[in-house]
Chain A
Amino acid sequence: MKEIVTFPHCGYAWIAAKALLENIGFDVLVPPPISKHTEKLGAKYSPTDACYPYKLSLGSMIESLEKGATVIIMVGGKKGLCRLCYYSKLQEITLKKIGYKFRLITASNPQDAIKTLKKANPNISLKKTLKIIPFVWRKIKAVEKIEILARKTRPYELRNGETSKVMEGALKEVDKAQTLKEMNLVNLKINEMFKAVKRDKKDPHDILKVGILGEAFCVLEPFANKNIESKLGEKGVLVSQKVSEAGWLLTSAKLNFHRWWIKHMIAPQYLKVSGGGEDQQSIGKAILYGKEGYDGLILIQPRGCMPENIAQMFLPTISQKYNIPFLALSFDENTSETAVDNRIEAFVEMIKRKKERKK
């Protein structure tokens, strides 16, 4: 029987995952983008107290299984600190109880995933896999570049929404590319596409700079954070956000020096031992943004997230020390988008007035 491989939807990670799995030789089913329907499905079959990423990833898996997927690849491992590594274990039990027939493969890094897939399908050759890694890496870096360019362009755009449209187009181009040569052309095209966005003449010193901290899934997936990056950009705010798929891959290969530096050199002033997730990273980034003179910080977390609640306990002290206001937002399936919009608007107004008073 033909095996159809899928994975839960998270931000724009699907572009690289699809490229990797298709080139290895699998039939890939790209999970549908996360929507209200995904959220409802996930919340229906999850415990009330479970974290938001658990519910969204469960909903995404159900949608893929309904479309005919037979193998699910999920992030996880035998043990961890926060609940993330337990997701796959409970999700498998839940989905099998509903009645779906599938195989779940967990991996804490891509090397593990490929090893497990090779056991399942011996036709995969390790040589072929190694050959396509530069191509897949090029795609991951292209997605990262698109996100960074979008954040830099949005505060200056003349017409609200133009940058987001260009971003969508650029991501489609990256997905369409099938070879390294095509990727090189796409990289040049991306720069042009963003340069073509009509800009307003604003003084870069007047632009507000806000740093985004928080849990990885909610920061990467626009549905989970109610499109906060677009909203802030359209208000003229330059957003800085450092979590990315490229960073995650470097971490799993033990090559992410920035992350190591924050964990061992910056965060231990406040939090000596990590409780899991991104807690030390959030604290470290808050300190670095404070030192660099950013105008505000926004902490994005799922409701009840243990590591982020721990990080939140240190923010008032850091905020006072570096004179940088912060806003903590919690997301789950009951969060009202209007409430989030109101809070963001009030926060942006507050930091604008603070900056004007400074002059």
Chain B
Amino acid sequence: MKKISKACFSPRRKIKIGLPKGLLWYKYHRFWEVFFKELGAEVVKSSDTNKKIVEEGTKKSVDELCIPVKIFFGSCLDLIDKCDWIFIPRYWIIDRKSITCPKLITLPDTAIMIIRKKILTTTINIKRKPIFLSFFFLGLKLKKNPLKVIQAYRAAIRAQEMNETYLEKEFQKKLASPLLTVAVVGHEYNIYDNYINQELISEIEKQNVNIITSDLVPQSLSDTYLKEKPFIYWSYEREIIGTAYWALSAKKISGLILISSFNCGPDSLLHEQLLLEDSKKPILSILVDESTSKETVKTRIEAFLEMLKRKGQIINT
């Protein structure tokens, strides 16, 4: 395989870098966008997930993959004519004791099989080098000025930190709400992609129920609830399953909604572990695939929330 060559930089127009709207985009896009913009590139996002993206992604890859990965491949195909380079990083090890997910670790290699050209990548493995260096060498490919690359990295970190502060404030605000509260637990690419979640968040909000999603809960809190459980060696699963265990014991939360996609490896075993817990809190598990309809999800959510409301009334009276 050819090594990914340096970006050809034309001084007349800005380089366009495409960010496929799938998988880790939901977690890190603020960081990536600021980093590339500070280096003088124009950032292009793929279209919101739609039927064509899912179909194209499925056709060119393997049928049994989980739907978020198929959406990612479809988004890459959507971006091919819209940009010069598609950015697909390899998030491998972000925490000393765990790894991300087999599909994320191999993402740049499998994506090349589908797109066949023009991938910009960097490997994030804190056991080999600090995250700063992974982005520093990537930035040098776009701008040969090390000071500018360091400035861009610092601006990107600031953007990420601002988002984390916002999430902390949201968490406190939601905890203080007097309404009935449910926790919605799942990967961000399942919760916030409207094609996958079938607009679950807005359905719940319509019922005047307060939602705490798993990305709001701080990691320090979710980690404490994982100490007595068998060791989970997938980093992002630790975040969401730790949140689920917190939700099962937090008084504020009346019920837990688990959202996952069909064929997700780690979720399949870990959600079962949650359902086997001796907890009196109601848990609704939603498994989404390409043929799930909005009506099915809506009906299940309505029935679940109805049950929670009635349970709350019985306890109060």
**Interface contact A313-B61, CB-CB below 8 Å:** yes
State the Cβ distance, A49 to closest chain B Cβ, in Å. Answer: 3
C-beta contact mask, B176-213 vs A, less than 8 Å → 1, else 0? 00000000000000000000000000000000000000
Chain A nearest Cβ from B290, distance in angstroms: 15
Number of interface residues of A (CB under 8 A): 43
Stretch at the interface among A118-126, A142-150, A211-219, A269-277: A269-277
User: Would you give the shortest CB distance from A304 to chain B, in whole angstroms?
Assistant: 5
- Are B65 and A309 in touch, CB under 8 angstroms? yes
Binary contact track A71-92/B, C-beta < 8 Å → 1, others 0: 0000000111111011101100
Interchain nearest-CB distance for B285 vs A (Å): 10
Segment of B38-46, B101-109, B153-161 engaged in the interface with chain A: B101-109
Considering the chains assembled together, what is the distance between the CA atoms of A48 and B102 in angstroms?
Answer: 20
Query: Quick check: B231 and A78 within 8 Å, CB to CB?
Result: yes
Q: Which of A93, A269, A312 contacts B1, CB < 8 Å? A: A269
Q: Does B143 contact A (CB under 8 A)?
A: no
Interface residues of A in 85-120 (CB under 8 A from B): 85-87, 89-90, 93-94, 97
Which of A79, A275, A277 has the most chain B CB within a 10 Å cutoff?
A275
User: Does residue A134 face the partner (Cβ distance < 8 Å to B)?
Assistant: no
A47 touches B269 (CB 8 A): yes
- Please name all residues of chain B whose beta carbon is closer than 8 Å to the beta carbon of A273 when the two chains form the complex: 90, 92, 105-106, 109, 123
B8 contacts partner chain A, Cβ-Cβ < 8 Å: no
B276 contacts A93, C-beta separation under 8 Å: yes
B107-120: CB near A (< 8 Å → 1, else 0) gives 00110011000000
Q: Once the chains are docked, how many angstroms separate the CA of A89 from the CA of B230?
A: 6
Q: Chain B interface residue count: which class?
A: 35 or more
Q: How far does the alpha carbon of A338 sit from the alpha carbon of B176 in the complex, in Å?
A: 59
Residues of B contacting A81 in the complex (Cβ-Cβ under 8 angstroms): 99, 102, 105
Q: How distant is the Cα of A312 from the Cα of B110 in the complex, in angstroms?
A: 10
User: Which one of B164-172, B215-223, B259-267 is at the A interface?
Assistant: B259-267
| Chain A residues positioned under 8 Å from B273 (CB to CB) | 89-90, 93
Question: Chain A residues with Cβ under 8 A from B271's Cβ?
Answer: 47
The one of B113, B230, B262 that contacts A49, using a Cβ cutoff of 8 Å: B262
Chain A positions within 8 Å of B269 at CB level: 47, 50, 54, 83, 86-87, 90
A85 in contact with B272 (CB, 8 Å): no
A227 in contact (CB, < 8 A)? no
Q: Is A317 an interface residue (CB 8 A)?
A: yes
For chain A residues 264-314, which have a beta carbon within 8 Å of chain B?
269-277, 279, 303-304, 306-307, 309-310, 312-314
Does B134 interact with chain A (Cβ within 8 Å)?
Answer: no
Enumerate chain A residues within 8 angstroms of B28, measured Cβ to Cβ: none
Chain B residues proximal to chain A, CB less than 8 Å: 1, 61-62, 64-65, 90, 92, 97-99, 101-103, 105-106, 109-110, 113-114, 123, 230-233, 262-269, 271-273, 276, 287
User: Is B64 a contact partner of A330 (Cβ separation < 8 A)?
Assistant: yes
Contact A80 B276, CB 8 Å, known A271-B109, A273-B90, A313-B61: no
A276 surroundings in chain B (CB, below 8 A): 102
User: Given the complex of chains A and B, what is the CA–CA distance between A89 and B113 in angstroms?
Assistant: 35
Interface string of A300-339 (1 = CB under 8 A from B): 0001101101101110110000000000001000000000
Let me know if B102 and A82 touch, CB within 8 A. Answer: yes
Complex Cα spacing A72 to B198, Å: 43
- Give Cα A194 to B214, complex, Å: 61
In the assembled complex, the CB of B180 is this many whole angstroms from the nearest CB of chain A, namely 29
Question: A295 vs B52: C-alpha distance in the bound complex, in angstroms?
Answer: 37
B interface, over-half SS: mixed
Whole-angstrom CA separation of A97 from B99 in the bound complex: 29
Contacts A48-B268, A89-B230, A93-B273 known; 9 new A-B pairs at CB < 8 A: A49-B268, A90-B230, A269-B1, A270-B1, A271-B109, A306-B103, A310-B103, A313-B62, A313-B110
A-chain residues with CB within 8 Å of residue B102 when the two chains form the complex: 81-82, 275-277, 279, 306-307, 310
Show 13 A/B contacts (Cβ-Cβ < 8 Å), sorted by A.
A46-B272, A47-B268, A47-B271, A49-B268, A79-B99, A90-B273, A269-B1, A271-B109, A273-B109, A274-B105, A275-B105, A306-B102, A313-B61
Known: A50-B272, A275-B103, A306-B265. A79 touches B1 (CB 8 A): no
Is B276 within 8 A of A94, CB to CB?
Answer: yes
Tell me, rounded to whole Å, the shortest Cβ–Cβ distance linking B266 to chain A: 7
Do A275 and B233 form a contact, CB below 8 Å, given A81-B99, A309-B64? no
Residues of B within 8 A of A89 (CB): 230-231, 273
**Complex Cα–Cα for A283 and B127 (A):** 26
Inter-subunit contact B105/A78 (CB<8 Å): no
Nearest CB of chain A from residue B190's CB, rounded to whole Å: 14
A279 & B263 in contact (Cβ 8 Å cutoff): no
Contact of B98 among A79, A269, A309 (CB under 8 A): A79
Tell me, rounded to whole Å, the shortest Cβ–Cβ distance linking B298 to chain A: 23
Q: B109: which of A49, A272, A312 is its contact (CB, 8 Å)?
A: A272
The contact of B265 among A272, A304, A314, by CB within 8 Å, is: A304
Asked if residues B109 and A309 are in contact (CB atoms below 8 Å), the reply is no
Distance A316 CA – B110 CA, assembled complex (angstroms): 12
Knowing A50-B269, A307-B102, the reply to whether A85 touches B233 (Cβ < 8 A) is: yes
CB pair B233 A86 closer than 8 Å: yes
Closest Cβ of chain A to B105, distance in Å, is 5
- Residues from chain B with a CB closer than 8 A to the CB of A97 are 276
Which has the most chain A C-beta neighbours within 10 Å: B99, B106, B271, B287?
B106
The answer to whether A49 touches B103, judged by C-beta atoms less than 8 angstroms apart, is no
Pick from B97, B109, B264, B268: contact of A270, CB below 8 A: B109
Q: Collect the chain A residues with CB atoms within 8 Å of residue B110's CB.
A: 310, 313-314
**A79 B65 Cβ-Cβ under 8 A:** no
Docked pose: A124 CA to B232 CA in angstroms? 32
Contacts of A303 in B (CB 8 A): 64
The CA-CA distance from A270 to B110 in the complex, in Å, is 8
**Whole-angstrom distance between the alpha carbons of A353 and B284 in the complex?**
53
List the 9 closest A-B pairs by CB distance, nearest first. A275-B102, A49-B268, A79-B233, A89-B230, A47-B272, A275-B106, A306-B102, A306-B265, A304-B263
Q: When A82-B265, A306-B102 are in contact, do A314 and B272 touch as well, CB less than 8 Å?
A: no
A40 to B160, CA, bound (A): 49
Give the complex CA separation of A86 and B103 in angstroms: 17
